[in-house]
Each structure stands twice: as structure tokens, then as C-alpha cells.
């Protein structure tokens, strides 16, 4: 090579420098094109991550809120057994069923009894004499606010009592919003949620009502209402900050605001992940915003999302694009320097190449270190689903390094569990034939032989060099799946426990009736 370069130096003369600058120019132009392509790819990835966070957050909040309301059906089942319900029975139902642990965000479970005006005095005496919860009963119990009404709907049981004792004895029918919500629940025989209001205990929150009946057959008597109290601050802390939402939402990288109804304003604002800043739609850093409506019981909430400068994907993307840009520039300088040095001095060329190669190696190591710290596996496939690029952290997920993945033309078929093979093939076809981004959870076989749960997502296909490609990420969701399975198992155990408890209560009622009958027979 040195001999050839020497001949070129002797023969070309003044053309030598022009050749060097042409090489440098082409290299820099290539770097610029690669940098711009990386920027566009990162922007697309940010948008996909944002859309995923919006979709997951909207579905999770709606599902969890409606699950809280649906828990009222189990609570009213206590009264459908057709036997008198005491304070201790209500307490045991809430505690033994672990309702507050199973439905985080609920402050208390309450029963409100319908009391006609002519029965008010005996009702008050009956509550005062109930010693099943406290040995001394409730000698100071009274119905408030004072006033003559044809019918009262009074808070009779609260669990836990210490969280709702200030509301103990409150007549919910005395307040218009509560009364309208109870009437709506009774008319539809379904949970009804109030707008945000001031709770009797002195904090803002919501109330959800469901009518309760004495017995379950035709002609059953409307006994009152079962109710859950939801304190606003505590509710959103449990549902959002401690719930299974994307980390970008929980950390505030994506700004989330929740409004009552379909109007987004300061007066209808229920929750703001960044309360010290102005509204989310006015502060989007990269123009990524979204608005979604959800239905909670019979009420509509509006969710507003916006990106922020702290969005993790933005920071990672910008870091990667800068590495591509400066790595390419450094490589261009390296090529220029090596050629120039070879044209002038073999020794200078070797020294310069060694120094600049070291710098390039350090840059590559920094890039590799950054990619390896990213928890998700990033990959690129062609239209034949052959893997063309995959990050080294794939080895942590399935025990195979990138070289083994590239060498396996049937990688996806060998990786995916047989139950999901058809679904994955169909998703690949939809991706390249109909431009539908891939979004699939499946089990992936590790090299060790066990299985991991993986969530695959991709962007839209693009064309390069006459071949169609698609980029995507694979996330290890095995931990979440184990948590979901454990939750289902525990829920089933609790349901079985509840059946046993109800059966035991019914058996005790039967035994009491038999005991009475025996006493009658002996007396006769």
C-alpha cells in the first residue's frame, strides 16, 4: 500500500490534495445523511412511545376506576341473603374480603339505610344499642343535619369506622347532589358517581352509590344504598402514582391532566401531574399531545396528555443522534488524516491512525455502553422477517447474542411459543402488507429452555436500497405477567373464601331456626 501511495504522490502532484478533499467531502456527506435518518427514526420512536403511554394510561385508569365501582355489587350481596345485617357483619365483610387492599383508592365502604320519618326514633335507638362493633354501642348517635323530612337516607355502617366516623349518621338525602346521584343509581340499578364535591369529613372527593335490597327475589324491599367514598388526592395517588401505568407518566415525563366532563378548564380540573405548570396542551415540547375521553360509571372524564423536555425517549434519542453525528465526523477526519499522512509520511500516518482509531474506539464503546443500558431490545427486520440488526442486550433476554440471531434464518419461528406462532406471523404480514404497526405479547424461548413473556412493538415500514425494513423494540414483561397471575390467583382464593363465609352464615341461620323449632316442640 505504501509503494502504491508513493507512486501516486510522484505522478499525481497537485491532484493529490483535490482527491483528499473529495474523499473527506463524501465521508462528511454520508455522515450527515446518516445523522438525519437517525433523527427521523428517533422522532418516530418518540411518537410511538408517546402513543403507547397514552393508550396504556387511558385503558388502565378507566378499567381501575370502573373496578372500584363494580366492587359495590359484592357489597350489596351482604343484604341479599335475606337475614338481618349488623354492624359487625358489615365490618367482617369488608375486612375478610380485604376490599380496601383489593381496590386501592377506596377510602371507606358505607351502608345508608332508608328511614321513613315515622320510624326515625326507633332507628336511632337501634343504632345506639348495636354493641356488635363497640361494647358500649353508640350512645351519642344522632341523625344530622336536623330537620323534618318525609324520608331519610342515613349512614348506618362505615368501614373503617375511624375514616368515616364524622359522617356517621349523616342524612345523604339532605344534600341535592347526593340525592340526585342516589336517584340515578336507583333508576338504573347500577353504580352512579357524583361529581367532585366536599365530603362530610372535610376533604374533596367522590361518592359512588348502588341500591341495596333486602332479599333477592321478586318483591324485594329497597333497604338503602351501599356506597364507596373516594378522596380525590388519595384516589389519584393510588390509581396513577402507585398503579401499573407507564413509567413515563408516573415520573411526569409525560404531563397528564384529568378533567371532569368534556370541558378542559381550571374549574373542571381534577388531577395534574405537574400542578405548578400551565395546562399540558400548552406546554408540549415536541408537539406530541393527545386527548381521550373515558366513562366512569355514568360520568365522563377527559384525559389530556403532552410530552415534556424530560421525556426519557427524547434524551436517549438525542444522545444516540449526537453519537451518530460526531462519530461520523470523527470517522471522516480519520479517513482524511490517514490518506493525507500516507501521502506525506508513513510514520506520521501510523501515529495519527493509532491515535484517532483509539478515539473512535472510545466513541464506539460509549455508544455500545449506552445501548446496552437500555432495558428494551431494539431490532430491525426486513420484509422477509430476517433480523438485520439487534442490540447486544438480547442476550440478557433470551440467552442468544446478536451473531447467533443473525445466523438463524428461522429465528422468530424458533423463538416464539407454538401458541403464538400464527399470531406473530399474521402480525408480520399486517406490518408489511397493510402498514399496521406490530403490537403483540407472546412467550419467547430462552436458551436455557424456559420461557419469558415479551411485548413486541414496531414502527411503520420504510424503504431503503429497494428493500422494506421495520424497526421495533422487545420488552421483557415477565415480571408483570407473574404479578397478574398472582393477582388472579389471590382474587380466586378470596372469592372462594367469600363463598365459604356466606355459606357459613346461611348454615348458622338454619341452625338458629332449627333451635327455635326444637324449643317450641319442647314447650308444647
**pLDDT value, residue 15:** 59
Measured between alpha carbons, how far is 398 from 387 in angstroms, rounded to an integer? 15
Measured between alpha carbons, how far is 495 from 290 in angstroms, rounded to an integer? 39
Query: Based on the domain organization, do 87 and 229 belong to the same domain?
Result: yes
Query: Based on the domain organization, do 62 and 88 belong to the same domain?
Result: no
Query: Based on the domain organization, do 217 and 115 belong to the same domain?
Result: yes
Residue ending a domain, choose from 333, 355, 370: 370
Residue ending a domain, choose from 200, 221, 236: 236
**C-alpha of 410 from chain center:** 34
**pLDDT value, residue 292:** 94
Is the CB of residue 54 less than 8 Å from the CB of residue 290?
Answer: yes
Measured between alpha carbons, how far is 237 from 41 in angstroms, rounded to an integer? 35
Query: Based on the domain organization, do 138 and 219 belong to the same domain?
Result: yes
Residue numbers of the chain with a pLDDT score lower than 50? 1-2, 5, 8, 280-281, 284-286, 312-315, 317-319
Question: Max Cα separation, the chain?
Answer: 135
Residue ending a domain, choose from 200, 215, 236: 236
Query: Based on the domain organization, do 109 and 54 belong to the same domain?
Result: no
Closest of 437, 479, 496 to residue 461, by C-alpha: 437
- 262 found inside a domain: no
Query: Based on the domain organization, do 122 and 71 belong to the same domain?
Result: no
- 141 found inside a domain: yes
Query: Based on the domain organization, do 39 and 187 belong to the same domain?
Result: no
- 361 found inside a domain: yes
- 359 found inside a domain: yes
- 145 found inside a domain: yes
Query: Based on the domain organization, do 53 and 162 belong to the same domain?
Result: no
Is the CB of residue 91 less than 8 Å from the CB of residue 251?
Answer: no
Query: Based on the domain organization, do 360 and 330 belong to the same domain?
Result: yes
Query: Based on the domain organization, do 40 and 126 belong to the same domain?
Result: no
Closest of 500, 492, 502 to residue 78, by C-alpha: 502
Angle between helix axes 15-76 and 312-344 (nearest 10 degrees) is 160
Structural Rg of the chain based on CA atoms: 34
Q: Which domain holds residue 184?
A: 79-236
Query: Based on the domain organization, do 36 and 106 belong to the same domain?
Result: no
Give alpha helix (H) positions in 259-299: none
**pLDDT value, residue 113:** 97
- Domain count of the fold of the chain: 2
- 303 found inside a domain: no
**C-alpha of 53 from chain center:** 8
- 50 found inside a domain: yes
Query: Based on the domain organization, do 148 and 221 belong to the same domain?
Result: yes
CATH number at residue 114: 3.30.450.350
Amino acid at each position: 500500500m505504501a509503494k502504491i501511495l508513493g507512486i501516486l504522490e510522484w505522478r499525481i502532484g497537485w491532484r493529490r490534495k483535490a482527491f483528499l478533499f473529495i474523499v473527506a467531502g463524501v465521508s462528511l456527506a454520508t455522515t450527515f445523511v446518516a445523522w438525519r435518518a437517525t433523527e427521523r427514526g428517533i422522532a418516530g420512536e418518540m411518537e410511538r412511545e408517546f402513543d403507547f403511554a397514552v393508550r396504556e394510561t387511558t385503558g388502565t385508569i378507566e378499567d381501575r376506576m370502573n373496578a372500584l365501582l363494580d366492587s359495590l355489587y359484592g357489597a350489596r350481596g351482604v343484604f341479599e341473603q335475606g337475614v338481618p345485617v349488623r354492624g359487625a357483619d358489615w365490618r367482617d365483610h369488608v375486612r375478610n374480603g380485604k376490599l380496601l387492599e383489593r381496590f386501592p383508592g377506596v377510602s371507606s365502604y358505607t351502608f345508608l339505610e332508608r328511614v321513613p320519618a315515622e320510624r326515625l326514633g326507633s332507628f336511632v335507638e337501634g343504632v345506639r344499642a348495636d354493641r356488635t362493633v363497640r361494647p358500649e354501642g353508640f350512645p351519642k348517635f344522632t341523625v344530622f343535619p336536623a330537620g323534618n323530612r318525609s324520608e331519610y337516607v342515613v349512614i348506618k355502617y362505615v368501614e373503617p369506622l375511624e375514616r368515616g366516623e364524622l359522617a356517621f349518621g349523616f342524612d345523604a338525602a339532605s344534600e341535592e347532589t347526593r340525592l340526585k346521584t342516589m336517584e340515578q343509581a336507583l333508576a338504573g340499578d347500577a353504580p352512579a358517581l357524583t361529581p367532585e364535591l366536599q365530603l362530610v369529613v372535610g376533604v374533596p372527593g367522590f361518592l359512588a352509590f348502588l341500591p341495596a335490597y333486602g332479599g333477592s327475589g321478586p318483591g324485594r324491599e329497597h333497604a338503602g344504598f351501599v356506597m364507596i367514598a373516594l378522596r380525590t388526592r388519595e384516589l389519584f395517588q393510588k390509581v396513577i402514582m402507585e398503579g401499573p401505568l407507564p413509567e413515563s407518566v408516573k415520573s411526569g415525563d409525560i404531563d397528564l391532566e384529568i378533567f371532569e366532563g368534556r370541558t378542559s378548564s381550571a374549574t373542571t380540573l381534577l388531577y395534574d401531574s405537574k400542578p405548578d405548570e400551565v395546562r399540558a396542551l400548552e406546554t408540549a415540547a415536541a408537539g406530541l399531545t393527545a386527548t381521550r375521553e373515558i366513562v366512569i360509571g355514568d360520568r365522563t372524564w377527559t384525559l389530556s396528555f403532552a410530552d415534556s423536555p424530560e421525556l426519557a425517549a427524547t434524551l436517549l434519542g438525542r444522545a444516540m443522534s449526537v453519537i451518530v453525528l460526531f462519530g461520523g465526523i470523527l470517522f471522516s477526519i480519520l479517513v482524511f488524516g490517514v490518506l493525507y499522512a500516507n501521502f506525506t509520511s508513513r510514520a506520521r500516518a501510523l501515529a495519527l491512525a493509532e491515535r484517532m482509531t483509539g478515539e473512535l474506539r472510545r466513541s464506539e464503546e460509549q455508544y455500545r455502553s449506552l445501548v446496552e443500558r437500555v432495558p428494551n431490545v431494539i431490532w430491525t427486520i426486513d420484509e422477509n422477517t430476517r433480523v438485520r440488526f439487534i442490540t447486544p442486550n438480547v442476550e440478557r433476554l433470551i440467552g442468544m447474542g446478536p451473531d447467533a440471531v443473525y445466523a438463524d434464518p428461522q429465528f422468530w419461528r424458533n423463538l416464539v411459543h407454538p401458541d403464538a406462532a400464527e399470531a406473530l406471523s399474521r402480525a408480520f404480514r399486517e406490518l408489511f402488507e397493510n402498514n399496521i404497526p406490530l403490537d403483540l405479547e407472546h412467550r419467547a424461548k430462552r436458551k436455557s429452555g424456559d420461557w419469558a413473556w415479551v411485548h413486541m412493538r414496531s414502527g411503520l415500514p420504510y424503504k431503503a436500497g429497494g428493500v422494506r425494513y421495520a424497526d421495533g423494540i422487545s420488552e421483557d414483561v415477565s415480571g408483570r405477567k407473574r404479578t397478574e397471575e398472582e393477582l388472579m390467583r389471590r382474587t380466586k382464593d378470596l372469592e372462594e373464601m367469600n363463598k365459604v363465609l356466606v355459606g357459613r352464615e346461611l348454615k348458622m341461620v338454619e341452625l338458629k331456626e332449627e333451635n327455635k323449632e326444637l324449643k317450641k316442640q319442647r314447650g308444647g
